[in-house]
Amino acid sequence: MLKHSHPLIGVIGGVGPYAGLDFVRNIFNNTRALKDQEHLNTLLVSCPAIIPDRTKYLLDEEPVNPADGLFESAKILYAAGARHAAVVCNTAHSDRIFKPFCGMVADSLPGMVIINMLSSCADFIKEKHPEIRTLGLLATKGTYKSRVYKEYFKSVEGFTLLEPELPGQDRISDAIYSLDYGIKAHSDPVQAKACNILLYEGFRLLDRGAQGLILGCTELPLAVDPTDFSTPVFNPGLLAARELIRLTAPAALTGE
Amino acid sequence: MLKHSHPLIGVIGGVGPYAGLDFVRNIFNNTRALKDQEHLNTLLVSCPAIIPDRTKYLLDEEPVNPADGLFESAKILYAAGARHAAVVCNTAHSDRIFKPFCGMVADSLPGMVIINMLSSCADFIKEKHPEIRTLGLLATKGTYKSRVYKEYFKSVEGFTLLEPELPGQDRISDAIYSLDYGIKAHSDPVQAKACNILLYEGFRLLDRGAQGLILGCTELPLAVDPTDFSTPVFNPGLLAARELIRLTAPAALTGE
Protein backbone atom coordinates (compact mmCIF):
# COMPACT_ATOMS: atom_id res chain seq x y z
CA MET A 1 0.00 0.00 0.00
CA LEU A 2 1.23 3.44 -0.96
CA LYS A 3 2.39 5.66 1.91
CA HIS A 4 2.67 9.37 1.27
CA SER A 5 1.09 12.70 1.99
CA HIS A 6 -1.58 12.78 -0.70
CA PRO A 7 -4.26 10.09 -0.76
CA LEU A 8 -4.71 7.83 -3.74
CA ILE A 9 -7.78 8.45 -5.94
CA GLY A 10 -9.24 5.26 -7.37
CA VAL A 11 -10.93 5.06 -10.74
CA ILE A 12 -12.86 2.02 -11.92
CA GLY A 13 -12.58 2.27 -15.66
CA GLY A 14 -12.91 -0.18 -18.51
CA VAL A 15 -16.61 0.74 -18.84
CA GLY A 16 -15.68 1.77 -21.53
CA PRO A 17 -11.89 1.93 -21.59
CA TYR A 18 -11.60 5.34 -23.28
CA ALA A 19 -14.15 6.84 -20.89
CA GLY A 20 -11.82 5.79 -18.07
CA LEU A 21 -8.98 7.79 -19.63
CA ASP A 22 -11.31 10.75 -20.13
CA PHE A 23 -12.26 10.60 -16.45
CA VAL A 24 -8.64 10.58 -15.24
CA ARG A 25 -7.92 13.44 -17.65
CA ASN A 26 -10.75 15.33 -15.92
CA ILE A 27 -9.00 14.78 -12.59
CA PHE A 28 -5.71 16.10 -14.01
CA ASN A 29 -7.39 19.04 -15.78
CA ASN A 30 -9.13 20.10 -12.57
CA THR A 31 -6.02 19.93 -10.38
CA ARG A 32 -3.92 22.98 -9.59
CA ALA A 33 -0.61 21.71 -10.92
CA LEU A 34 2.17 23.25 -12.96
CA LYS A 35 4.58 20.38 -12.63
CA ASP A 36 4.29 16.62 -12.47
CA GLN A 37 4.82 16.38 -8.72
CA GLU A 38 1.84 18.64 -7.95
CA HIS A 39 -0.61 16.24 -9.57
CA LEU A 40 -2.65 13.94 -7.38
CA ASN A 41 -2.03 10.23 -7.03
CA THR A 42 -4.46 8.22 -9.11
CA LEU A 43 -4.92 4.57 -9.94
CA LEU A 44 -6.97 3.62 -12.99
CA VAL A 45 -8.04 0.01 -13.21
CA SER A 46 -9.42 -1.02 -16.58
CA CYS A 47 -10.45 -4.68 -16.67
CA PRO A 48 -13.28 -4.70 -19.21
CA ALA A 49 -13.18 -8.44 -19.90
CA ILE A 50 -14.63 -9.21 -16.46
CA ILE A 51 -17.40 -6.58 -16.62
CA PRO A 52 -20.27 -7.53 -18.97
CA ASP A 53 -22.13 -4.80 -20.85
CA ARG A 54 -24.26 -2.88 -18.37
CA THR A 55 -27.04 -2.08 -20.82
CA LYS A 56 -27.35 -5.70 -21.95
CA TYR A 57 -27.64 -6.81 -18.35
CA LEU A 58 -30.41 -4.30 -17.64
CA LEU A 59 -32.22 -5.35 -20.83
CA ASP A 60 -31.98 -9.00 -19.65
CA GLU A 61 -29.75 -9.92 -22.60
CA GLU A 62 -26.79 -10.78 -20.34
CA PRO A 63 -27.09 -13.01 -17.26
CA VAL A 64 -24.00 -11.95 -15.26
CA ASN A 65 -24.31 -8.87 -13.07
CA PRO A 66 -21.51 -6.40 -13.92
CA ALA A 67 -21.38 -5.63 -10.19
CA ASP A 68 -19.07 -8.62 -9.67
CA GLY A 69 -16.41 -7.32 -12.07
CA LEU A 70 -16.71 -3.81 -10.67
CA PHE A 71 -16.09 -5.26 -7.21
CA GLU A 72 -12.98 -7.12 -8.45
CA SER A 73 -11.74 -3.77 -9.77
CA ALA A 74 -12.54 -2.05 -6.47
CA LYS A 75 -10.52 -4.66 -4.59
CA ILE A 76 -7.44 -3.82 -6.68
CA LEU A 77 -7.84 -0.12 -5.85
CA TYR A 78 -8.38 -0.86 -2.17
CA ALA A 79 -5.34 -3.14 -1.91
CA ALA A 80 -3.21 -0.33 -3.33
CA GLY A 81 -4.48 2.11 -0.71
CA ALA A 82 -7.30 3.98 -2.48
CA ARG A 83 -10.19 4.91 -0.16
CA HIS A 84 -12.18 7.03 -2.61
CA ALA A 85 -13.28 5.87 -6.04
CA ALA A 86 -15.77 6.37 -8.83
CA VAL A 87 -17.25 3.95 -11.34
CA VAL A 88 -16.87 5.53 -14.78
CA CYS A 89 -20.20 4.32 -16.22
CA ASN A 90 -23.57 5.96 -15.77
CA THR A 91 -25.50 2.81 -16.65
CA ALA A 92 -23.68 1.01 -13.83
CA HIS A 93 -25.34 3.42 -11.40
CA SER A 94 -28.72 1.75 -11.86
CA ASP A 95 -29.99 0.07 -8.70
CA ARG A 96 -29.71 -3.46 -10.09
CA ILE A 97 -25.94 -2.98 -10.52
CA PHE A 98 -24.82 -0.19 -8.20
CA LYS A 99 -26.65 -1.39 -5.07
CA PRO A 100 -25.15 -4.91 -5.01
CA PHE A 101 -21.76 -3.44 -5.95
CA CYS A 102 -21.86 -0.91 -3.10
CA GLY A 103 -23.11 -3.65 -0.79
CA MET A 104 -20.08 -5.83 -1.53
CA VAL A 105 -17.78 -2.84 -1.03
CA ALA A 106 -19.41 -1.96 2.31
CA ASP A 107 -19.18 -5.58 3.48
CA SER A 108 -15.58 -6.27 2.42
CA LEU A 109 -13.65 -3.02 1.99
CA PRO A 110 -14.00 -1.00 5.21
CA GLY A 111 -13.57 2.74 4.80
CA MET A 112 -13.92 2.67 1.00
CA VAL A 113 -16.06 5.54 -0.31
CA ILE A 114 -17.65 5.01 -3.75
CA ILE A 115 -18.98 8.31 -5.01
CA ASN A 116 -22.16 8.51 -7.07
CA MET A 117 -21.85 10.39 -10.36
CA LEU A 118 -25.56 11.22 -10.40
CA SER A 119 -25.52 12.96 -7.04
CA SER A 120 -22.29 14.79 -7.99
CA CYS A 121 -24.19 16.09 -11.03
CA ALA A 122 -27.45 16.97 -9.23
CA ASP A 123 -25.60 18.76 -6.44
CA PHE A 124 -23.74 20.89 -8.96
CA ILE A 125 -26.86 21.83 -10.91
CA LYS A 126 -28.74 22.82 -7.73
CA GLU A 127 -25.85 24.97 -6.55
CA LYS A 128 -24.77 26.64 -9.78
CA HIS A 129 -27.99 26.67 -11.84
CA PRO A 130 -30.86 26.91 -9.34
CA GLU A 131 -33.12 28.23 -12.11
CA ILE A 132 -33.03 24.89 -13.95
CA ARG A 133 -36.01 22.65 -13.26
CA THR A 134 -36.23 20.71 -16.55
CA LEU A 135 -33.33 18.62 -17.83
CA GLY A 136 -32.82 16.60 -21.01
CA LEU A 137 -31.03 13.27 -20.73
CA LEU A 138 -28.78 11.75 -23.39
CA ALA A 139 -27.94 8.19 -22.37
CA THR A 140 -27.89 4.48 -23.25
CA LYS A 141 -31.04 2.38 -23.52
CA GLY A 142 -29.99 0.58 -20.36
CA THR A 143 -29.90 3.87 -18.50
CA TYR A 144 -33.32 4.89 -19.86
CA LYS A 145 -34.84 1.50 -19.19
CA SER A 146 -33.38 1.20 -15.70
CA ARG A 147 -34.88 4.62 -14.90
CA VAL A 148 -31.73 5.34 -12.87
CA TYR A 149 -31.71 9.04 -13.79
CA LYS A 150 -35.51 9.31 -13.52
CA GLU A 151 -35.45 7.85 -10.03
CA TYR A 152 -32.68 10.09 -8.85
CA PHE A 153 -33.36 13.38 -10.62
CA LYS A 154 -37.16 13.20 -10.53
CA SER A 155 -38.07 11.23 -7.41
CA VAL A 156 -35.19 12.30 -5.17
CA GLU A 157 -34.37 15.78 -6.49
CA GLY A 158 -37.68 16.93 -8.00
CA PHE A 159 -36.43 17.84 -11.49
CA THR A 160 -38.49 17.23 -14.60
CA LEU A 161 -36.43 14.86 -16.75
CA LEU A 162 -37.03 14.69 -20.50
CA GLU A 163 -35.92 11.66 -22.50
CA PRO A 164 -35.94 11.17 -26.28
CA GLU A 165 -38.82 9.20 -27.81
CA LEU A 166 -37.96 5.58 -28.65
CA PRO A 167 -36.61 6.25 -32.19
CA GLY A 168 -34.28 8.89 -30.71
CA GLN A 169 -33.16 6.44 -28.01
CA ASP A 170 -32.35 3.96 -30.78
CA ARG A 171 -30.31 6.55 -32.66
CA ILE A 172 -28.34 7.48 -29.53
CA SER A 173 -27.74 3.80 -28.84
CA ASP A 174 -26.32 3.44 -32.35
CA ALA A 175 -24.12 6.52 -31.84
CA ILE A 176 -22.61 4.70 -28.85
CA TYR A 177 -22.66 1.03 -29.92
CA SER A 178 -22.66 0.84 -33.74
CA LEU A 179 -19.66 -1.15 -34.96
CA ASP A 180 -19.59 1.11 -38.04
CA TYR A 181 -19.64 4.55 -36.43
CA GLY A 182 -20.35 4.21 -32.68
CA ILE A 183 -18.13 5.78 -30.05
CA LYS A 184 -17.18 2.49 -28.38
CA ALA A 185 -15.81 1.03 -31.62
CA HIS A 186 -14.41 4.34 -32.94
CA SER A 187 -13.18 6.52 -30.09
CA ASP A 188 -10.04 8.07 -31.44
CA PRO A 189 -11.21 9.91 -33.42
CA VAL A 190 -14.97 9.67 -32.98
CA GLN A 191 -17.00 9.58 -36.19
CA ALA A 192 -18.93 12.62 -37.44
CA LYS A 193 -22.11 10.55 -37.73
CA ALA A 194 -22.09 9.80 -33.99
CA CYS A 195 -21.49 13.48 -33.19
CA ASN A 196 -24.31 14.59 -35.49
CA ILE A 197 -26.85 12.21 -33.97
CA LEU A 198 -26.07 13.49 -30.49
CA LEU A 199 -26.27 17.09 -31.60
CA TYR A 200 -29.67 16.46 -33.21
CA GLU A 201 -31.12 14.61 -30.23
CA GLY A 202 -29.78 17.25 -27.85
CA PHE A 203 -31.50 20.04 -29.79
CA ARG A 204 -34.76 18.06 -29.86
CA LEU A 205 -34.72 17.86 -26.05
CA LEU A 206 -34.07 21.59 -25.82
CA ASP A 207 -36.97 22.23 -28.25
CA ARG A 208 -39.21 20.26 -25.90
CA GLY A 209 -38.32 22.55 -23.01
CA ALA A 210 -35.11 21.23 -21.46
CA GLN A 211 -33.11 24.04 -19.81
CA GLY A 212 -29.94 21.97 -19.78
CA LEU A 213 -28.61 18.63 -21.02
CA ILE A 214 -27.04 15.79 -19.07
CA LEU A 215 -24.46 13.64 -20.85
CA GLY A 216 -25.64 10.52 -19.06
CA CYS A 217 -23.12 8.10 -20.58
CA THR A 218 -19.37 8.43 -20.10
CA GLU A 219 -18.79 7.89 -23.84
CA LEU A 220 -20.78 11.00 -24.77
CA PRO A 221 -18.27 13.69 -23.70
CA LEU A 222 -15.92 12.15 -26.27
CA ALA A 223 -18.37 13.15 -29.03
CA VAL A 224 -20.32 16.17 -27.72
CA ASP A 225 -18.88 19.67 -27.71
CA PRO A 226 -20.82 21.57 -25.00
CA THR A 227 -20.19 24.87 -26.81
CA ASP A 228 -22.45 23.65 -29.63
CA PHE A 229 -25.39 24.30 -27.31
CA SER A 230 -26.49 27.65 -25.87
CA THR A 231 -27.79 25.97 -22.69
CA PRO A 232 -25.64 24.33 -20.01
CA VAL A 233 -24.40 20.81 -20.74
CA PHE A 234 -23.60 18.75 -17.66
CA ASN A 235 -20.98 16.00 -17.68
CA PRO A 236 -21.47 13.82 -14.60
CA GLY A 237 -18.00 12.33 -15.15
CA LEU A 238 -16.38 15.75 -14.96
CA LEU A 239 -18.41 16.67 -11.88
CA ALA A 240 -17.58 13.36 -10.20
CA ALA A 241 -13.87 13.88 -10.95
CA ARG A 242 -14.09 17.27 -9.26
CA GLU A 243 -15.87 15.72 -6.28
CA LEU A 244 -13.08 13.17 -5.89
CA ILE A 245 -10.52 15.99 -5.78
CA ARG A 246 -12.68 17.93 -3.31
CA LEU A 247 -12.92 14.90 -1.03
CA THR A 248 -9.25 13.94 -1.13
CA ALA A 249 -7.25 17.15 -1.74
CA PRO A 250 -9.61 20.17 -1.66
CA ALA A 251 -6.81 22.75 -1.91
CA ALA A 252 -5.81 21.28 -5.28
CA LEU A 253 -9.22 21.78 -6.91
CA THR A 254 -9.22 24.43 -9.65
CA GLY A 255 -11.79 27.19 -9.88
CA GLU A 256 -12.98 27.04 -6.28
CA MET B 1 -4.87 -10.27 -7.41
CA LEU B 2 -6.99 -10.37 -10.54
CA LYS B 3 -7.81 -13.82 -11.93
CA HIS B 4 -8.97 -14.07 -15.51
CA SER B 5 -7.97 -15.17 -18.95
CA HIS B 6 -6.11 -12.06 -20.12
CA PRO B 7 -3.07 -10.87 -18.22
CA LEU B 8 -2.93 -7.44 -16.65
CA ILE B 9 -0.70 -4.85 -18.36
CA GLY B 10 0.97 -2.49 -15.91
CA VAL B 11 1.79 1.12 -16.71
CA ILE B 12 3.94 3.29 -14.49
CA GLY B 13 2.68 6.77 -15.25
CA GLY B 14 2.79 10.07 -13.48
CA VAL B 15 6.01 10.93 -15.34
CA GLY B 16 4.27 13.08 -16.52
CA PRO B 17 0.63 12.35 -15.74
CA TYR B 18 -0.77 13.16 -19.20
CA ALA B 19 1.92 11.08 -20.88
CA GLY B 20 0.64 8.13 -18.83
CA LEU B 21 -2.84 8.61 -20.28
CA ASP B 22 -1.39 8.91 -23.77
CA PHE B 23 0.48 5.63 -23.26
CA VAL B 24 -2.63 3.74 -22.14
CA ARG B 25 -4.51 5.26 -25.09
CA ASN B 26 -1.79 3.79 -27.32
CA ILE B 27 -2.50 0.37 -25.81
CA PHE B 28 -6.23 0.77 -26.47
CA ASN B 29 -5.70 2.16 -29.99
CA ASN B 30 -3.46 -0.77 -30.90
CA THR B 31 -5.81 -3.48 -29.61
CA ARG B 32 -8.24 -5.31 -31.88
CA ALA B 33 -11.46 -4.46 -30.05
CA LEU B 34 -14.91 -3.41 -31.16
CA LYS B 35 -16.53 -3.60 -27.74
CA ASP B 36 -15.44 -2.87 -24.20
CA GLN B 37 -14.95 -6.51 -23.24
CA GLU B 38 -12.41 -7.13 -26.02
CA HIS B 39 -9.99 -4.56 -24.61
CA LEU B 40 -7.03 -5.72 -22.56
CA ASN B 41 -6.77 -5.38 -18.82
CA THR B 42 -4.58 -2.47 -17.84
CA LEU B 43 -3.60 -0.78 -14.61
CA LEU B 44 -2.23 2.76 -14.72
CA VAL B 45 -0.52 3.97 -11.57
CA SER B 46 0.15 7.70 -11.49
CA CYS B 47 1.84 8.79 -8.26
CA PRO B 48 3.89 11.79 -9.38
CA ALA B 49 4.39 13.24 -5.90
CA ILE B 50 6.78 10.42 -4.95
CA ILE B 51 8.81 10.57 -8.19
CA PRO B 52 11.13 13.60 -8.39
CA ASP B 53 11.84 15.18 -11.75
CA ARG B 54 14.10 12.84 -13.72
CA THR B 55 15.94 15.58 -15.59
CA LYS B 56 16.69 17.52 -12.38
CA TYR B 57 18.09 14.38 -10.82
CA LEU B 58 20.37 13.73 -13.79
CA LEU B 59 21.50 17.38 -13.76
CA ASP B 60 22.31 17.00 -10.02
CA GLU B 61 19.65 19.55 -9.07
CA GLU B 62 17.61 16.97 -7.14
CA PRO B 63 19.13 14.58 -4.57
CA VAL B 64 16.49 11.81 -4.50
CA ASN B 65 16.70 9.11 -7.14
CA PRO B 66 13.35 8.80 -8.96
CA ALA B 67 14.00 5.05 -9.04
CA ASP B 68 12.56 4.74 -5.52
CA GLY B 69 9.16 6.19 -6.48
CA LEU B 70 9.10 4.16 -9.68
CA PHE B 71 9.68 1.05 -7.59
CA GLU B 72 6.80 1.98 -5.23
CA SER B 73 4.62 2.27 -8.33
CA ALA B 74 5.83 -1.09 -9.64
CA LYS B 75 4.93 -2.72 -6.31
CA ILE B 76 1.32 -1.56 -6.70
CA LEU B 77 1.15 -3.07 -10.19
CA TYR B 78 2.74 -6.30 -9.02
CA ALA B 79 0.40 -6.69 -6.05
CA ALA B 80 -2.55 -6.37 -8.44
CA GLY B 81 -1.19 -9.14 -10.65
CA ALA B 82 0.65 -7.29 -13.42
CA ARG B 83 3.77 -9.10 -14.65
CA HIS B 84 4.61 -6.82 -17.59
CA ALA B 85 5.01 -3.07 -17.30
CA ALA B 86 6.58 -0.01 -18.86
CA VAL B 87 7.86 3.22 -17.34
CA VAL B 88 6.30 6.08 -19.31
CA CYS B 89 9.32 8.39 -19.23
CA ASN B 90 12.30 8.31 -21.57
CA THR B 91 14.55 10.22 -19.19
CA ALA B 92 13.89 7.55 -16.55
CA HIS B 93 15.57 5.04 -18.87
CA SER B 94 19.00 6.53 -18.19
CA ASP B 95 21.34 4.16 -16.39
CA ARG B 96 21.45 6.20 -13.17
CA ILE B 97 17.68 5.73 -12.75
CA PHE B 98 16.64 2.68 -14.78
CA LYS B 99 19.40 0.35 -13.57
CA PRO B 100 18.70 0.74 -9.83
CA PHE B 101 14.97 0.61 -10.54
CA CYS B 102 15.26 -2.63 -12.51
CA GLY B 103 17.58 -3.97 -9.83
CA MET B 104 14.98 -3.43 -7.11
CA VAL B 105 12.32 -5.02 -9.31
CA ALA B 106 14.51 -8.06 -10.01
CA ASP B 107 15.33 -8.44 -6.31
CA SER B 108 11.81 -8.02 -4.91
CA LEU B 109 9.21 -8.71 -7.61
CA PRO B 110 9.94 -12.15 -9.09
CA GLY B 111 8.65 -12.67 -12.62
CA MET B 112 8.04 -8.95 -13.25
CA VAL B 113 9.16 -7.88 -16.75
CA ILE B 114 9.92 -4.17 -17.21
CA ILE B 115 10.17 -3.41 -20.90
CA ASN B 116 12.62 -0.84 -22.22
CA MET B 117 11.11 1.84 -24.48
CA LEU B 118 14.44 2.44 -26.20
CA SER B 119 14.88 -1.14 -27.29
CA SER B 120 11.21 -1.28 -28.40
CA CYS B 121 11.99 1.70 -30.60
CA ALA B 122 15.34 0.48 -31.96
CA ASP B 123 13.91 -2.97 -32.75
CA PHE B 124 11.07 -1.38 -34.72
CA ILE B 125 13.35 0.89 -36.73
CA LYS B 126 15.70 -1.96 -37.60
CA GLU B 127 12.82 -4.14 -38.76
CA LYS B 128 10.65 -1.63 -40.61
CA HIS B 129 13.17 0.97 -41.79
CA PRO B 130 16.47 -0.89 -42.31
CA GLU B 131 17.65 1.95 -44.59
CA ILE B 132 17.78 4.39 -41.69
CA ARG B 133 21.23 4.84 -40.18
CA THR B 134 21.03 8.45 -38.91
CA LEU B 135 18.41 9.53 -36.41
CA GLY B 136 17.54 12.90 -34.87
CA LEU B 137 16.60 12.99 -31.21
CA LEU B 138 14.11 15.39 -29.63
CA ALA B 139 14.31 15.00 -25.84
CA THR B 140 14.80 16.64 -22.44
CA LYS B 141 18.13 18.02 -21.26
CA GLY B 142 18.27 15.17 -18.77
CA THR B 143 18.01 12.67 -21.59
CA TYR B 144 20.70 14.45 -23.64
CA LYS B 145 22.99 14.85 -20.66
CA SER B 146 22.56 11.30 -19.44
CA ARG B 147 23.45 10.10 -22.95
CA VAL B 148 20.85 7.35 -22.51
CA TYR B 149 19.85 7.43 -26.18
CA LYS B 150 23.44 7.88 -27.34
CA GLU B 151 24.55 4.85 -25.37
CA TYR B 152 21.77 2.68 -26.63
CA PHE B 153 21.31 3.79 -30.23
CA LYS B 154 24.94 4.53 -30.97
CA SER B 155 27.00 2.17 -28.84
CA VAL B 156 24.61 -0.80 -28.77
CA GLU B 157 22.80 -0.45 -32.11
CA GLY B 158 25.30 1.42 -34.26
CA PHE B 159 23.07 4.29 -35.41
CA THR B 160 24.37 7.82 -35.84
CA LEU B 161 22.37 9.95 -33.41
CA LEU B 162 22.05 13.69 -34.02
CA GLU B 163 21.11 16.02 -31.17
CA PRO B 164 20.28 19.74 -31.35
CA GLU B 165 22.99 22.25 -30.43
CA LEU B 166 22.74 23.66 -26.91
CA PRO B 167 20.43 26.61 -27.78
CA GLY B 168 18.07 24.15 -29.46
CA GLN B 169 18.19 21.87 -26.41
CA ASP B 170 17.23 24.87 -24.29
CA ARG B 171 14.29 25.69 -26.56
CA ILE B 172 13.03 22.09 -26.45
CA SER B 173 13.40 22.11 -22.68
CA ASP B 174 11.23 25.23 -22.55
CA ALA B 175 8.67 23.64 -24.86
CA ILE B 176 8.36 20.86 -22.27
CA TYR B 177 8.88 22.68 -18.95
CA SER B 178 7.97 26.39 -19.38
CA LEU B 179 5.23 27.34 -16.94
CA ASP B 180 3.92 29.78 -19.56
CA TYR B 181 3.67 27.52 -22.61
CA GLY B 182 5.36 24.18 -21.83
CA ILE B 183 3.60 20.87 -22.37
CA LYS B 184 3.80 19.78 -18.72
CA ALA B 185 1.99 22.90 -17.50
CA HIS B 186 -0.36 23.14 -20.52
CA SER B 187 -1.25 19.71 -21.83
CA ASP B 188 -4.89 20.00 -22.76
CA PRO B 189 -4.65 21.76 -25.12
CA VAL B 190 -0.94 22.15 -25.76
CA GLN B 191 0.20 25.65 -26.70
CA ALA B 192 1.10 26.58 -30.28
CA LYS B 193 4.45 27.96 -29.15
CA ALA B 194 5.52 24.56 -27.82
CA CYS B 195 4.40 22.88 -31.05
CA ASN B 196 6.26 25.39 -33.20
CA ILE B 197 9.54 24.99 -31.30
CA LEU B 198 9.42 21.23 -31.76
CA LEU B 199 8.58 21.55 -35.44
CA TYR B 200 11.52 23.91 -35.93
CA GLU B 201 14.02 21.77 -34.04
CA GLY B 202 12.80 18.66 -35.84
CA PHE B 203 13.37 20.24 -39.26
CA ARG B 204 16.84 21.41 -38.18
CA LEU B 205 17.80 17.82 -37.37
CA LEU B 206 16.49 16.66 -40.75
CA ASP B 207 18.47 19.43 -42.46
CA ARG B 208 21.59 18.08 -40.75
CA GLY B 209 20.98 14.64 -42.25
CA ALA B 210 18.64 12.77 -39.93
CA GLN B 211 16.57 10.19 -41.84
CA GLY B 212 14.02 9.96 -39.07
CA LEU B 213 13.13 11.61 -35.76
CA ILE B 214 12.73 10.03 -32.34
CA LEU B 215 10.28 11.67 -29.94
CA GLY B 216 12.50 10.88 -26.96
CA CYS B 217 10.23 12.32 -24.26
CA THR B 218 6.74 11.05 -23.57
CA GLU B 219 5.35 14.60 -23.52
CA LEU B 220 6.38 15.21 -27.13
CA PRO B 221 3.72 13.10 -28.91
CA LEU B 222 1.15 15.40 -27.27
CA ALA B 223 2.59 18.32 -29.27
CA VAL B 224 4.14 16.82 -32.44
CA ASP B 225 2.04 15.74 -35.41
CA PRO B 226 4.18 13.16 -37.26
CA THR B 227 2.45 14.03 -40.55
CA ASP B 228 4.12 17.46 -40.42
CA PHE B 229 7.35 15.70 -41.39
CA SER B 230 8.06 13.84 -44.62
CA THR B 231 10.43 11.44 -42.84
CA PRO B 232 9.42 8.78 -40.30
CA VAL B 233 8.78 10.00 -36.74
CA PHE B 234 9.22 7.35 -34.06
CA ASN B 235 7.31 7.42 -30.80
CA PRO B 236 8.99 5.05 -28.34
CA GLY B 237 5.87 5.19 -26.14
CA LEU B 238 3.69 3.94 -28.96
CA LEU B 239 6.18 1.22 -29.86
CA ALA B 240 6.50 0.16 -26.21
CA ALA B 241 2.70 0.01 -25.89
CA ARG B 242 2.64 -2.29 -28.91
CA GLU B 243 5.39 -4.43 -27.40
CA LEU B 244 3.37 -4.84 -24.19
CA ILE B 245 0.40 -6.07 -26.24
CA ARG B 246 2.66 -8.40 -28.23
CA LEU B 247 4.09 -9.87 -25.02
CA THR B 248 0.79 -10.34 -23.20
CA ALA B 249 -1.91 -10.86 -25.86
CA PRO B 250 -0.30 -11.09 -29.32
CA ALA B 251 -3.53 -11.99 -31.12
CA ALA B 252 -5.02 -8.67 -30.00
CA LEU B 253 -2.31 -6.52 -31.61
CA THR B 254 -3.55 -4.50 -34.59
CA GLY B 255 -1.72 -4.31 -37.90
CA GLU B 256 0.33 -7.49 -37.49
Range A84-92 average pLDDT: 96
Share of residues in chain A with pLDDT > 90 (%) = 88
Q: What are the residues facing B161 on neighbouring strands? A: B135
Please name the helix (run of DSSP H) or strand (run of DSSP E) that holds residue B112, with its range, or none: none
Query: How high is the pLDDT of residue B66?
Result: 98
From B37, B49, B72, residue closest to A5, measured CB to CB: B49
Where along chain A do its domains lie? Answer: 8-116+238-252, 118-236
In a 3-state reduction of DSSP, which class is residue B139?
Answer: coil
- Interface probe, candidates B15, B36, B62, B219, chain A, greatest A C-beta count within 10 A: B36
Rounded (5°) CA angle B154-B169-B57: 80
Q: Identify the CATH class of B118-236.
A: alpha beta
| Residues of chain B contacting residue A7, judged by C-beta atoms under 8 Å apart | none
Per-residue pLDDT tens over the stretch B159-210: 999 999 999 999 999 999 999 999 988 887 899 999 999 999 999 999 999 9
Peptide bond into B250 cis (omega under 30): no
- Interface probe, candidates B46, B68, B73, B222, chain A, greatest A C-beta count within 10 A: B46
φ and ψ at B151, to 5 degrees? -55, -50
In a 3-state reduction of DSSP, which class is residue A136?
Answer: strand
Count of CB atoms situated within 10 Å of the CB of A165: 10
Domain B8-116+238-252, architecture per CATH: 3-Layer(aba) Sandwich (3.40)
**Under 8 Å CB-to-CB from A133, ≥6 apart: which residues?**
A158, A159, A160, A211
| Ranges of residues in chain B whose predicted pLDDT is under 70 | 1-5
- Residue (of B71, B54, B60) closest to B217 by Cα position: B54
- ipTM of this predicted complex? 0.92
The reply to whether A8-116+238-252 and A118-236 are identical in fold is: yes
Per-residue pLDDT tens over the stretch A165-210: 999 999 999 999 999 999 988 887 899 999 999 999 999 999 999 9
Is A34's Cβ below 8 Å from some Cβ in B? yes
